Amino acid sequence: MKKRVTGIGGLFFKTKDPKAAKDWYKKHLGFNTDDYGSTFWWKDKENQEDCSTQWSPFPKDTTYFEPSKKDFMFNYRVENLEELLVTLKEEGVTIVGEMETYDYGKFGWILDNEGHKIELWEPIDQAFK
């Protein structure tokens, strides 16, 4: 099997007012925000490909992080998500839902040892450009 996690794909958190959070981060920290939050671009050291990490505030009442009850969720960039999900299931890791495929990549979800929901993303970074 190739690498599992290749980087951080996103930081997602619940907030009372996502628009106010985006405005605050834009004003005070210079985030280039849009409807989804802010995308940070970087180069992968090994292959010099363009990569992205997404920062996104979610409404306090979102159900997207369920079954976790935490106010945050991490998204990790991975290689070969389909194979990784099979391996994780064989290792006894809880898989949440079914893998989903979009024009910007594949997504799968797992729970860690404390019940935190983790989003796994096999990206197609070029789709954002």
Residue ranges covered by each domain of the chain = 5-128
Say which DSSP state 45 is in.
Answer: T
At 45 the pLDDT is 80
pTM: 0.88
At 43 the pLDDT is 87
CATH superfamily for 5-128 is 2,3-Dihydroxybiphenyl 1,2-Dioxygenase, domain 1 (3.10.180.10)
| Rounded mean pLDDT, 74-102 | 96
Query: pLDDT per residue over 8-64, tens digit each?
Result: 999 999 999 999 999 999 999 999 999 999 999 988 887 778 889 999 999 999 999
At 1 the pLDDT is 57
- Match 């194979």 to its residue by tokens: 83
From residue 93, alpha-carbon distances to 22, 62, 77, 98 in Å are: 34, 24, 18, 14
At 100 the pLDDT is 97
DSSP codes joined into one string, 77-126: EES-HHHHHHHHHHTTPEEEEEEEEETTEEEEEEE-TT--EEEEEEE-GG
Asked if the peptide bond before residue 57 counts as cis, ω within 30 degrees of 0, the response is no
